[in-house]
Amino acid sequence: EVQLLESGGGLVQPGGSLRLSCATSGFTLKNYGMSWVRQAPGKGLEWVAGLRGSDPTTYYADSVKGRFTISRDNSKNTLDLQMNSLRADDTAIYYCAKAGAEWEHYFDLWGQGTLVTVSS
Amino acid sequence: DIVMTQSPDSLAVSLGERATINCKSSQSVLYSSNNRDYLAWYQQKSGQPPKLIIYWASTRDSGVPDRFSGSGSGTDFTLTISSLQAEDVAVYYCQQYYNNPRTFGQGTKLEIK
């Protein structure tokens, strides 16, 4: 079964760091583009970061550029998001999302999400 | 960045009636080399992650009921539910994947009248 399962969310103080992970199964991770998309409480969807399937090219939203790093471990079938210098407005559910192909595709599979709360 | 604007923000429709949601992009998402519109629609039910329902503006994802249809091209798109069912209550988002950053509409909340 094709599946995504996020972990690593929690409560962190402003200025702190957190590392999210997305365990993938049922498909070959290196063949697909992957992204992180977040949703602040009661708000809409915001794409955060992504990487291509076939090469290490990464992309970031301006709101997280320089603070967040997306990476992938093909041997472990995991997608990670390292989040540094966290701010209150980073509070959200973070979803891992799989592209339909290498990159220029829609998100055909989403995980259940992991909640990140940035607060003192 | 491409700005995606949905209308209306919320919509109440009677069971069995048609529901129509519009999405407008600030620039064309039609890729001329393959004549494809890089536009998707997602359904998000309360407490759940988003679910893909339409891609390439008009292709239904596997398992999506045929009462859902997508139309439009260039900058103007529509999601239509031909006969609203109770299980269709959700927030619907359009999204462009034409370029980076990927952007979503603000969402349209669909309820039963």
Q: Phi/psi at B94 (nearest 5 deg)?
A: -100, 160
Interface residue of A36, A45, A95 to substitute, partner B, most B CBs within 10 Å? A45
pLDDT in tens, A45-103: 999 999 998 788 999 999 999 999 999 999 999 999 999 999 999 999 999 999 998 77
Minimal Cα–Cα distance from A19 to chain B, Å?
A: 20
Is it the case that residue A9 has pLDDT exceeding 90?
Answer: yes
When CB atoms are compared, the residue of A59, A100, A110 closest to B100 is A59
Query: pLDDT at position A32, please?
Result: 94
The phi, psi pair for A89, rounded to 5°, reads -80, 5
CB-based contact (8 Å) between A100 and chain B? Answer: yes
Of the candidates A17, A92, A52, A3, the residue with the CA atom closest to the CA atom of residue B102: A52
Length of chain A counted residue by residue: 120
C-alpha distances out from residue A88 to A10, A12, A40, A54, A120, Å: 13, 10, 10, 34, 9
Secondary structure (DSSP) of B40-95: EEEEE-TTS--EEEEETTTEEPTT--TTEEEEEETTEEEEEESS--GGG-EEEEEE
Could you give the CA distance from residue B106 to residue B101 in angstroms, rounded to a whole number?
A: 15
Using a CB–CB cutoff of 8 Å, tell me whether A45 touches chain B.
Answer: yes
- Residues of chain B in contact with residue A6, where contact means CB-CB under 8 angstroms, are none
Give the confidence band of A114 by pLDDT, cuts at 50, 70, 90. very high
Is residue B93 within 8 A of residue B104, CB to CB? The reply is yes
Supply the pLDDT for residue A104: 80
Tokens read off for B64 = 């999506």
A-chain CB neighbours of B56 within 8 Å are 106
CA proximity to A46, closest of B75, B15, B17, B95: B95
The pLDDT value recorded for residue A54 is: 79
B103–A contact, CB cutoff 8 A: yes
Residues in chain B within 8 Å Cβ distance of A52 = none
Q: Tell me whether B107 touches chain A (CB under 8 Å).
A: yes
Coil vs helix vs strand at A90: helix
Report chain A's mean pLDDT, rounded to a whole number.
96
Share in percent of chain A as helix, strand, coil (round to 5) = 5, 50, 45
Specify the DSSP element, H or E, that contains A120.
none
Report the chain A residue with the minimal C-alpha distance to residue B100.
A59
